[in-house]
Structure 1
């Protein structure tokens, strides 16, 4: 088992745990929404997608964001997942990132969507 993200307690008052698939989703979410420089001991960690919520909506920005996300996931989680596809959509003040990936330990592909609104993660 793995620690739940964000850190929390289970009903018994112990540190909450999660299964492997949920843990991978949590790790991807951390890479996506952590801005570089936010973590003191890992200043290069993350890709800062949350900053793009207020950026102008353009095809070039979406393409660049997809490359940014895919390279960040490969750099930080490449030993745990294989990323097949990243899709970024900006609608009004909400940024949606859909990641198709699989764990290196199994062959089952997963599709997870992460959203960031102007007020924080949705």
Structure 2
């Protein structure tokens, strides 16, 4: 078991824990929504997605974000997951990111969706 993110206390008044699959989802969320330079001891950690929130939304922006996110996942989480696909769509005033990956530990296929903006 892992400590759940964001940190909170469960109904038993203990540190909340989570499963391996949910922990990996939490790691991905932290990675894609962290700005490079935001973490003191890991200045390169992050995808840069949040830096583009106020950029004009377009298919070109979605393609750039797709490469940023895929590169960050492969750099920082390659020991935990095998990235199958990263799909980024520009929808209205937001970017929708869908990540398909396989958990290395169990071989389980996962699909997670995240949204930035709006």
> Partners of 2:14 and 2:24 in 1: how far apart?
21
**Given the two structures, how large is their TM-score scaled by the length of structure 1?**
0.89
Contact 1:84/1:101, CA 8 A, preserved across alignment: yes
2:68 aligned residue: 68
1:11-30 matches, cutoff 5 A? 11-30=11-30
> Partners of 1:67 and 1:22 in 2: how far apart?
24
- Report the alpha carbon displacement of residue 95 of structure 1 after superposing the two structures with TM: 1.8
2:84 aligned residue: 84
Contact 1:82/1:101, CA 8 A, preserved across alignment: yes
How many residues align structurally? Answer: 118
**Given the two structures, how large is their TM-score scaled by the length of structure 2?**
0.92
Q: Following superposition, which runs of at least 4 residues in structure 1 exceed 4 angstroms of deviation?
A: none
> Partners of 1:66 and 1:99 in 2: how far apart?
10
Contact 1:34/1:48, CA 8 A, preserved across alignment: yes
